[in-house]
A and B are shown apart, each in its own frame.
Chain A
Amino acid sequence: MTSKAMGEGERAEARQQARMRNMIVASLVCAVLIIVAALTFRQSGGRIAPEGAIAIVMLYLTAVIGFGWWTCRRSDEVEIRHNVAGLATAGGLYWLAYPGWYFLWKGGLVPEPSHEALFVAVIVVTMLGYFRAKLRG
C-alpha cells in the first residue's frame, strides 16, 4: 500500500520485523549474561569455576540452538542466503587462519592462538559477510 494506512501485508511485515528485533535483543541479553557469568565465576589463573563453566555452556548452547532454529523458521530465503554467506565467510577465515597460527605456534614462531580472539574474529567476520551479502542484495 502506498497510502498512509497499513495493508494486511505491511502489518505482517511489521510484526515480523518486531519479532526479529526482539530476537536480537534477547540474543544480546544472553551474550551479556554469559559475560557476567564468566566474570562472576572467574578464579585465579584465568580459570572459571566448574559450576560456572557448566552454566555458561548450557546458556550458550540453548541460545545458539534456540535462536538458530527460530531464525531458520522465521527467515525468508533471501535472509537465510545472507546468513549463510556470513557463516561461510567466517568459516573460510577460520579454516585459513587457525591451522597456520597453530603450526607457527608449535614451531615457536608466534604466541599461542588466542581462543577468545579467534572467536571474536569469527563473530565479526560473520557479521561483515552477512552485511556485505545484504548490501549486494
Chain B
Amino acid sequence: MKNRLKVLRAERDWSQAELGGRLGVSRQAVNAIETGKHDPSLPLVFRIARLFDLRIEEIFDDEQGNG
C-alpha cells in the first residue's frame, strides 16, 4: 500500500526513530511502512492519522501503483 509517511515525516523534520517513538513502534517498523514492505494494522493507521491530524485517505492509498 502506497503512503505519504516519508513526506509527512520530512515536513516535520522527524527522523524515523522520532516518528516511531511517537507512534509506539520501532524505527524498523516505520521504515517497513514507508518502503511499502509492511501494511500497518488498522489501529496503527488510526494512530498515524491522528498524529498528523489528517484523514487516513490523505496518508494511505489503497490503489496499487497510485501514490
Chain A positions within 8 Å of B, measured between CB atoms, are: 1-3, 7-14, 16-17, 76-79, 81, 134, 136-137
Tell me the B residues contacting A by CB distance below 8 Å.
13-15, 17-29, 31-33, 35, 37-38, 40-41, 44
Closest to A75 in B: B26
A13 x B27 contact (CB < 8 A): yes
Interface of B is mostly: helix
Q: List residues of chain B with CB within 8 A of the CB of A12.
A: 21-22, 24
Whether A13 contacts B32 by the Cβ 8 Å rule is no
CB closest chain-B residue, reference A17: B26
By secondary structure, the A interface counts as helix
**In contact, A77 and B29 (Cβ under 8 angstroms):** yes
Q: How far is the CA of A134 from the CA of B27 in the complex (A)?
A: 12
Neighbouring A residues of B15 by C-beta, 8 Å: 1-2, 7, 10
11 example contacts (A-B, Cβ-Cβ < 8 A) are as follows: A1-B13, A2-B13, A7-B18, A12-B22, A13-B17, A13-B26, A13-B27, A16-B26, A78-B33, A79-B26, A137-B38
